[in-house]
């Protein structure tokens, strides 16, 4: 098939692809992954790829076989359209070609764009500062071989209350070497048709070396990071990855769901350089089965990343956190294919990330969290003192036999809890502790459900997102006090000291009655 303009929102998901939409699996971009490079003797073709897809160039007449697809016959120079009902071209219903750049700005300062709709073309902002783009929409910005939306250099770029949609084979939004960028209440949806390209909204190299000046102040005498802020961001229903947040990023109150790309990447992807002093809190990454949820990556992992109040379910890995000195609190991870949570000992080279290999995550904290069934953990919180690997540090194992140690850190781990009712797996599932959480099986097709269960096991297949513990759950009033996280205070001590003795109920903002809305170790 060709790809078509996605005139209707997709209703499928990665586990139940909707035919004829971005879920169709038409392969990789012929521009990023050409069939051949005659002038490159070392070129190795990737076609057909591991999914069995052969190389093709969408738009060929032989692939014109379903509504809203188009094709071009080069022999007679004729453009064909397979028009669908109610979309037959007329004087008031036309198709347009996606162009290249429709707007360029360079060295432009103090601009606001508001209530605009950029259609069938992209824009670029270079070397410009103090910009606000608000209440705007960007549709069909790029197509095969054309550039996406973006900016470079500059300071204080804010995008707020805006939508990026139906953008194929190009970045919906990317910034290179900005300082202090902000994305607030931004929706990215129905983007990209091709696998293996990622094309996630991203920020790169938001830092400056000594000697840089913002034009108002004297040149800096030290390395400076222009931290990024992602707030109320949604990336959904796309053949893309999630986001590349940049350095010292704060990512909060954001959702990443139904991401279908197949690449070594993530819903939130941090490199070794961007992990340090980053914070990810109050986020959801759901149903990205070929991606990590959030990953701290690198052959020498970074350090000092903070994660709290975070759900990562239905992904390849939930939390993949290389390095050391991380603080991971109040996270929920289950229904992930490979690992629910990974705090490994390997791929760490010390605090400078440039020395000889060292054992990682020894100093990382993991508290007040739910891990479904697959855990890799070298944190001191996963091992009682005197037990491997804390004493000998000679290996990493799945720590599945020390309930008291886990309980002392507020960790609920399914493999520690035997379940004689469930015959397929003999450990407990967090689904039964939570009010009405998301479940991977609810995204399956009816035919697959009948194959697994013999029938469709529910009347309403609609997903739910209530991750609060249900009444009577062991999770209620469990866990430990973490200063600055769940003690009712906004500030966090430079060095977190955990209280094993919970304070009394008087003036205690953490423990609450079990019938209140938010009375658990999990504050999602």
Condensed to tens digits (0 to 9), the pLDDT of residues 195-228 reads 889 999 999 999 999 999 888 889 999 999 999 9
Report, in angstroms and rounded to the nearest whole number, the Rg of the chain calculated over CA atoms: 25
With beta carbons less than 8 A apart as the criterion, state whether 262 and 288 touch: no
Q: Give 8's pLDDT tier (boundaries 50, 70, 90).
A: low
> Which tokens go with 260?
């279908």
For residue 252, count other CB atoms closer than 10 A to its CB.
18
Q: Which residue has the higher pLDDT, 498 or 464?
A: 464
pLDDT at 512 over 50: no
**Residue bearing tokens 């091709």:** 194
Q: What is the dihedral of CA 360, 361, 363, 367, to 10 degrees?
A: -170
CA distance 376 to 366: 12
Q: Give 393's pLDDT tier (boundaries 50, 70, 90).
A: very low
CA distance 306 to 364: 10
> Which tokens go with 287?
């149903």
Q: Which of 9-23, 173-187, 277-291, 502-516 has the lowest mean pLDDT?
A: 502-516
pLDDT tens track for 93-140 = 777 888 889 999 999 999 999 999 999 999 999 999 999 999 999 999
With beta carbons less than 8 A apart as the criterion, state whether 165 and 142 touch: no
CA triplet 367, 372, 373: central angle to 5 degrees?
110
Q: What is the dihedral of CA 98, 104, 109, 115, to 10 degrees?
A: -20
Domain layout of the chain by residue ranges:
440-469
For residue 108, count other CB atoms closer than 10 A to its CB.
15
Residue 213 has what pLDDT? 87
Q: Quick one: which H or E segment has residue 452?
A: helix 446-453
Mean pLDDT computed over every residue of the chain: 86
Q: Give 470's pLDDT tier (boundaries 50, 70, 90).
A: very high
> Which tokens go with 312?
């990562």
In the chain, the largest separation of any two C-alpha atoms, in whole Å, equals 82
| Share of the chain residues as helix, strand and coil, in percent rounded to the nearest 5 | 5, 30, 60
CA distance 226 to 329: 26
Residue 258 has what pLDDT? 95
Residue 515 has what pLDDT? 34
Strand partners, 79: 72
Q: Which residue has the higher pLDDT, 404 or 124?
A: 124
φ, ψ of residue 491 in degrees (nearest 5):
-85, 155
With beta carbons less than 8 A apart as the criterion, state whether 334 and 312 touch: no
Percent of the chain with pLDDT over 70: 86
pLDDT at 169 over 80: yes
58-86: average pLDDT: 86
pLDDT at 463 over 90: yes
What is the model's pTM? 0.89
pLDDT tens track for 244-290 = 999 999 999 999 999 999 889 999 999 999 999 999 999 999 999 99
**Residue bearing tokens 């048709």:** 193
């Amino acid at each position: 098939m060709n790809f078509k303009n996605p005139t209707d929102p997709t209703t499928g998901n990665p586990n139940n692809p909707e035919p004829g939409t971005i879920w169709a699996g038409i392969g990789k971009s012929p521009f990023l992954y050409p069939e051949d490079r005659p002038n490159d003797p070392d070129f190795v073709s990737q076609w057909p790829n591991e999914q069995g897809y052969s190389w093709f160039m969408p738009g060929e007449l032989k692939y014109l076989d379903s509504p809203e697809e188009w094709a071009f016959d080069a022999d007679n120079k004729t453009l064909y359209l397979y028009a669908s009902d109610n979309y037959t071209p007329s004087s008031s219903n036309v198709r347009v070609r996606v162009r290249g750049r429709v707007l360029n700005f360079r060295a432009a300062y103090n601009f606001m764009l508001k209530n605009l709709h950029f259609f069938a073309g992209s824009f670029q902002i270079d070397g410009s500062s103090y910009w606000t783009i608000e209440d705007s929409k960007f549709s069909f910005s790029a197509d095969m071989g054309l550039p996406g939306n973006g900016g470079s250099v500059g300071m204080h770029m804010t995008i707020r209350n805006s939508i990026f949609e139906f953008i194929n084979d190009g970045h919906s939004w990317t910034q290179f070497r900005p300082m202090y960028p902000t994305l607030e209440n931004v929706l990215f949806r129905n983007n990209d048709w091709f696998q293996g390209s990622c094309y996630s909204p991203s920020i790169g190299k938001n830092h400056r070396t000594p000697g840089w000046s913002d034009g108002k102040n004297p040149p800096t005498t030290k390395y400076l990071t222009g931290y990024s802020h992602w707030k109320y961001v949604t990336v959904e229903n796309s053949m893309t990855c999630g986001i590349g947040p940049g350095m010292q990023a704060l990512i909060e109150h954001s959702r990443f769901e139904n991401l279908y790309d197949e690449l070594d990447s993530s819903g939130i992807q941090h490199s070794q350089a961007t992990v340090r002093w980053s914070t990810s809190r109050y986020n959801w990454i759901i149903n990205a089965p070929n991606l990590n949820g959030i990953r701290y990556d690198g052959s020498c992992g970074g350090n000092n990343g903070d994660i709290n109040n975070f759900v990562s379910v239905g992904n390849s890995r939930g939390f993949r956190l290389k390095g050391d000195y991380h603080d991971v609190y109040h996270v929920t991870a289950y229904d992930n294919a490979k690992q629910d949570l990974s705090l490994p000992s390997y791929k760490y080279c010390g605090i400078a990330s440039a020395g000889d290999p060292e054992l990682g995550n020894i100093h990382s904290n993991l508290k007040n969290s739910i891990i479904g069934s697959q855990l890799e953990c070298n944190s001191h919180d996963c091992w009682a003192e005197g037990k491997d690997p804390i004493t000998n540090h000679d290996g990493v194992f799945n720590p599945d036999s020390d309930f008291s140690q886990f309980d002392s850190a507020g960790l609920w781990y399914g493999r520690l809890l035997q379940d004689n009712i469930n015959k397929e797996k003999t450990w407990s599932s967090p689904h039964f502790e939570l009010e009405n959480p998301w479940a991977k099986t609810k995204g399956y097709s009816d035919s697959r459900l009948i194959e697994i269960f013999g029938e469709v096991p529910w009347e309403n297949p609609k997903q739910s997102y209530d991750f609060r513990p249900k009444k009577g759950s062991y999770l209620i009033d469990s866990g430990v006090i973490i200063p600055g996280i769940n003690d009712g205070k906004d500030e966090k001590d430079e060095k977190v000291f955990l209280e094993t003795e919970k304070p009394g109920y008087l003036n205690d903002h953490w423990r609450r009655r079990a019938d209140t809305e938010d009375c658990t170790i999990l504050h999602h």
